[in-house]
Copies of this chain bind each other. A is one copy, B any other.
Amino acid sequence: MTGPPTTTQARTRAERLRQELREEIVTAAFEEFSQRGYHDTGIADIAQRLGIGHGTFYRHFKNKRDILDHVVDGLLARILEALAAENAPDAVDTLDEYVEQCRRISGALSEIFSADPRVARMLLLEATSIDAELTERVLGLFDTATALTAAYFMHGRELGYLRADLDVDGTARAVVGVILANLLQGLRTPADREAQRRTADAGLRLMFDGIARR
């Protein structure tokens, strides 16, 4: 039932192909950057990976720095989306619910970082060494995570299922460090999902119970 292609369809198709290529370039750039590193990757490497001329790259991205921004933006968006999806400090009213919430967040992050160790490599190792602006963006992610965590803490302290003397901000930072430990674990043993799970569990347990015997 497809009639002859109308102008609108044609434009849509061209637009779609264009968009697809853009995304392929972002993906290829991510792969190259996370493997060889930003500085050791040439535009030609990215283009060659896709089998396109390297001039084509510049039809879609302003310059090398520009594609890096898009790569990082995509990763940050995925992470923020995952955090936002699980974000509901107000919906958590008991310690058990919060534990469960933390597990979900932990699981959502694992979904991203354990599934592809290159994500952590890209964000933690590469993106933090290009320039101040990009470093700021990545470290800003930690600030966001800290703020999110602090919101939960505040809520829990008010409702009384967290320590009354909890230093909300400082502890939130420490907990983001625990998350960082998980990312590092993913970098160190990319294939060992079990080790990653155990580190995540130990981190959660540390959060809630500390290490001391009761």
Contact = CB atoms under 8 A, between A and B. Distances in A.
A39 B38 CA distance: 11
Interface of A (DSSP majority class): helix
Contacts of A199: 170, 173-174
A171 B173 CA distance: 17
A102 to B, nearest CB: 10
Contacts of A187: 139
23 contacts: A37-B129, A95-B212, A128-B129, A129-B129, A139-B184, A156-B211, A161-B213, A162-B211, A163-B209, A167-B198, A167-B202, A174-B178, A174-B181, A177-B178, A177-B180, A177-B182, A177-B184, A178-B178, A180-B181, A206-B206, A206-B210, A209-B212, A210-B210
Interface of A: 37-39, 95, 124-126, 128-131, 135, 139, 142-143, 153, 156, 160-164, 166-167, 169-171, 173-182, 184-185, 187-188, 198-199, 201-203, 205-214
